């Protein structure tokens, strides 16, 4: 499902779970009004200054960990570095799936790996279209 939502925010420290699971995320301090965005995982483009990166974005509450507070966090594909305090602009492109409660961290990581593969496929298709 195509979307067209763009959010900007400052990267704030989170709980460090994404990094521990092998998928570091930038947690954005942006306000998203209720009922404007469905919880789930999205393909996204993340802009940092003049650079734009293919990304996976998650909006919602981390149900697997018993959380109820919704937030927007972004995993920038193939990015290494520190982003705390920086402003990022995230454009959500397509919703990949809804927010799921996983019984174990292992199930969550397996799904995150699948999400990443699907996102890479999506972005390779986009790159092919732009090159032609």
In this predicted model, what pLDDT tens digit does every residue of 114-129 receive, in sequence order?
A: 999 999 999 998 765 5
Q: What is the pTM of this model?
A: 0.88
CATH no., domain 2-131: 2.40.30.30
**Per-domain residue ranges of the chain:** 2-131
Over the stretch 20-64, which tens digit does the pLDDT of each residue have?
888 999 999 887 776 788 899 999 999 999 999 999 999 998 877
Asked if 37 and 60 count as a contact pair (C-beta separation under 8 A), the reply is no
- Tokens 């520190």 map to which residue? 82
């Amino acid at each position: 499902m195509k979307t067209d939502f763009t959010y900007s925010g400052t990267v704030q420290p989170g709980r460090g779970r994404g990094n521990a699971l092998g998928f570091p995320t930038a947690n954005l301090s942006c306000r998203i009004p209720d009922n404007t965005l469905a919880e789930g995982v999205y393909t996204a483009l993340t802009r940092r200054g003049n650079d734009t990166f293919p990304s996976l974005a998650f909006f919602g509450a981390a149900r697997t960990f018993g959380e109820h507070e919704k937030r927007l966090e972004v995993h920038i594909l193939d990015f290494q570095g520190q982003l705390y305090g920086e402003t990022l602009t995230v454009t959500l492109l397509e919703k990949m799936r809804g927010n799921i409660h996983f019984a174990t961290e292992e199930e969550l990581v397996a799904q995150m790996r699948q999400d990443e593969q699907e996102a890479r496929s999506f972005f390779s298709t986009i790159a092919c279209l732009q090159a032609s």
